[in-house]
Amino acid sequence: MKISRSLQEFHVDKPVVLTQGTFDGVHLGHEKILKRIINRAKEIGGESVLLTFYPHPRLVLFPDDNQLRLITTLEERFEILRDMGLDQVVVLPFTKELSRVRAEEYVRDILLQQLNMKVFIIGYDHRFGRNREGSIEDILAMSETFNFEVEEISRQDIQESTVSSSKIRKALLDGEVKMARTYLGRDFTLDGEVVHGKARGNSLGYPTANIKVSDSFKLIPGNGVYAVEVEHAGKMYGGMLNIGENPTFDDANWSIEVNIFNFDEDIYGQQLRLNFVERMRDELKFDTTEQLRAQLDLDKEMALVMLRDRR
HEC letters along 118-169? EEEEEECCCCECHHHCECHHHHHHHHHHHCCEEEEECHHHHHHCCCCHHHHH
C-alpha–C-alpha distance, residues 86 and 66, integer Å: 32
Quick one: average pLDDT of 3-26? 95
For residue 269, give the nearest of 194, 207, 183 by alpha carbon: 194
Which range (38-47, 127-136, 295-304) has the least confidence? Answer: 127-136
Between 158 and 59, residue with greater pLDDT: 59
The domains located in the chain, with CATH, are: 2-163 (3.40.50.620), 186-309 (2.40.30.30)
DSSP letters, 39-87, are: HHHHHHT-EEEEEEEES-HHHHH-TT-----BSS-HHHHHHHHHHHT--
Give the span between the Cα atoms of 263 and 300, in whole angstroms: 14
Q: Report strand pairing: 255-260 vs 209-213.
A: antiparallel
Q: In whole angstroms, what is the distance from residue 31 CA to residue 23 CA?
A: 9
Is the Cβ–Cβ distance between 185 and 80 less than 8 Å? no
Q: Whole-prediction pTM value?
A: 0.90
pLDDT exceeds cutoff 80 at 246? yes
Interval 261-267 mean pLDDT: 94
pLDDT of residue 200: 77
Name which of 36, 187, 22 is nearest 89 in CA terms. 22
What does the pLDDT read at residue 242?
97
